[in-house]
Structure 1
């Protein structure tokens, strides 16, 4: 049984658009670019840091607001957040969704429900998607798989991540026009280098005959010269010419872009995907990682949080503070000096000992989830130091 039949059970594959109508729009569909940039090594290097970082986010179900915020450990939701389906973990799911978002500027995941409860979430690498409406003006998506099969599902049952969300009301703008010239430059640059290497391995000779010969005689002389001196069997490594002609070697003069031009093209691609050489080569420092996280990772985490919250909870449940957040320990890339300085936050009760130990990549300790405070710190009221222990004794 294929993945399509596993998700939709075959029953939904026969659903047609007879009961639907197309959205009144000049462009109500999305189709990924036929130019497969995923096959380029530089593009993969640009996307990999994002997919790896997003894959390490930790989803949590949060409930309440203000002083009553707590982590809800409801088993059914916890299981889906850990293993969205039987084929992948949440890390795999998030990485795949980010790759689809970066490549196509649109990423889709289908919510499989059973008795109004979420049973599984499946990322859908569609070849085309189209917006349709029913007679009640409810929005649906018609999703085509690469096998040619399609399904029509309510838009509210689809997690949709977008990038460069500008011209269309629903879909993110594709990057065909933005990347076409740049990818052509990079591809042609690679091809020119390859061809130069191939041509450089070929020894080209010009035979200048001193007298006029018939074409068939020229051919005989040329074949004899090649067989005697240009074959791999020639172990002497030297050649002797006939007095009737002069042999002149022609040096290849293939055009190869210089290193500066090649570097500029790569930097343009880095800039397009929001990375730099340090991020791609994994030799960034604390400040570089923080900048990358805030500009590229955090927006995707917020987008994931909003999308998951909307499909997991009703409007009423969201009103009670139910939401899905994606946590990341951005401090795991901090310097040792910064991590050690966080000990001051533990002394003041802003961090629990176990939260600090997690930043240090250490295991939890017994009683480490309780906040502690140094004895020489206490709340201040009216500009005066208040000793909480003394107040309790007087009462």
Structure 2
């Protein structure tokens, strides 16, 4: 039994296909993994890795009572082969490289109860029709095939335009990838050229080919080898001219290289600070808002829709992915947030501990609030009463105290 048998039950594999599922566009509903080198270039891989690494720190949570038992599974081991960080990291990587990523539910033997999730990387995917319903049929690089109902699968996309179901791919990056490749080859050739021919010598007489070869070897051994530590080159009348060749291979200059890097940064939504882990809280918050949060929102929606029925969704059941962004904040910001939100009952003790990356404490889920806070329209009441009876009683007491004081003075 292989991995495909673990992921796809036999019921989902053995189906009679009636043809392609008809879409609204003229494109056949077929998706093929990108065969280019977008993940083989150093800079593009670094950009994808930075996004996937930070996204892998998202925490899955299940809201509502349906499938609540899956929460710990999602938080620790979504499938028997990977933990949560690897699960999210691979999804983010596949999505960045192929602009389409598939999530397959893992079922119990009844083929109804979900017990886990698996990120799929097929070589080819097509939407086919089975009994009038759309199915996804996958073909893997080892030649194996499997199929599953379309509504059971989660599909993440980006750059979705031409196709009704899949992303449009990363063909827009091809010119930049070509420039990166040419730059790399140019540097390699430059190094090779600098280690090759450095001098040109013209003989003053005609020699046989074998004699020219021997003379070249002798000249090199006498003048260009490490044995010549004088720094002086000497040659006799056999040579009418010896000239040094100044090889200047073309290499993209710093400004042009910066432009190529900027193209990659713009396309993947990263910057140099993110790639080199030099970001501060403002830089990370901007990266989170623009890159990680949209991914977290889409991932939560996709997994919610593939897990819960319409009725369960209507009752507030959903899967969401959250991130403690304050772990990247300065200590000053953490302190301000902790104190301001804790004494107002917004955060409990353990949530404050999370901000400081500290372990939870016993009874840490209790919330506290400062007692001097009150609603504006209840300020007088809290100070001693705002009803007529309270005011009347307060006046009697003040009158009695005044009379007592007066009598004491007269005596």
**TM-score relative to the length of structure 1:** 0.88
| Number of the residue aligned with 1:67 | none
Please give the secondary structure, in 2, of the residue aligned with 1:140: strand
- Deviating more after overlay: 240-249 vs 101-110: 240-249
CA offsets per residue over residues 8-66 of structure 1, 9 Å max, x none?
A: 356755x3653444435423211122112111111121112221122111111112xxx
Mapped partners of 1:258, 1:80: distance in 2: 48
Matched, 1:258 2:253: yes
Q: 2:69 aligns with which of 58, 71, 75?
A: 75
Instruction: Identify which range, 251-260 or 180-189, moves more after superposition.
Output: 251-260
Runs of 4+ in 1 over 6 A off after TM superposition: 232-237, 388-391
Larger radius of gyration between Structure 1 and Structure 2? 2
- Superposed CA deviations along residues 151-174 of structure 1, whole A, max 9, x for unmatched, are 111112212111112221110110
Q: CA deviation at 1:366?
A: 3.3
Q: Please, what is the CA RMSD of the aligned residues?
A: 2.6
What SS is found at the alignment partner of 1:37? coil
Q: How does 1:112-123 map to 2 (within 5 A)?
A: 112-114=106-108, 115=110, 116-123=112-119
Query: 1:125 & 1:236 partners in 2: Cα distance?
Result: 63
Farther off after superposition, 268-277 or 238-247: 238-247
**The 10-residue stretch of structure 1 (279-288 or 348-357) with the greater mean CA deviation from structure 2:** 348-357
- Please give the secondary structure, in 1, of the residue aligned with 2:39: helix
Contact map agreement 1:378 1:388 (CA 8 A) in 2: no
In the aligned structure 2, how far is the partner of 1:379 from the partner of 1:40? 60
Inter-CA distance 288–148: structure 2 relative to 1 (3 Å threshold)? same
Kindly provide the CA deviation profile for residues 251-296 of structure 1, in whole angstroms up to 9, marking residues without a partner as x.
2121111111112111210111000011111111111111100110
- Which whole-Å CA distance do the structure 1 matches of 2:325 and 2:381 have between them? 35
Map 1:55-204 → 2, pairs under 5 A: 55-63=56-64, 74-114=68-108, 115=110, 116-136=112-132, 138-176=133-171, 178-204=172-198
The answer on 1:35 being equivalent to 2:36 is yes
CA positional deviation for 1:384: 4.5
Count of residue pairs brought into register by the alignment? 381
> Does the Cα contact within 8 Å between 1:203 and 1:249 map onto a contact in 2?
no
2:2 is matched with 2
Q: Contact between 2:176 and 2:260, CA under 8 Å: does it hold in 1?
A: yes
Aligned partner (choices 352, 356, 359) of residue 355 of structure 2: 359
Deviation per CA, 1:118-146, whole angstroms, max 9, x where unpaired?
A: 0221111111111112232x221111111
- Residue deviations 1:362-391 (CA, integer Å, cap 9, x gap): 22333332211112101233x746549989
CA distance in 1, matches of 2:374, 2:363: 21
Task: Say if 2:17 and 2:130, in contact at 8 Å, map to a contact too.
Answer: no
The CA deviation string for residues 188-230 of structure 1, in whole angstroms up to 9 with x for no partner, is 1111112112221234221112345555554443343245444
CA pair 235-3 structure 1, distance change in 2 beyond 3 A: farther
Do the aligned residues in 2 keep the contact of 1:29 with 1:131 (CA within 8 Å)? yes
1:321 maps onto 2:316 in alignment: yes
> Aligned to 1:39, what secondary structure does the other structure show?
coil
Match of 1:275 in 2: 270
* Separation (CA, whole Å) in 2 of partners of 1:336 and 1:377: 27
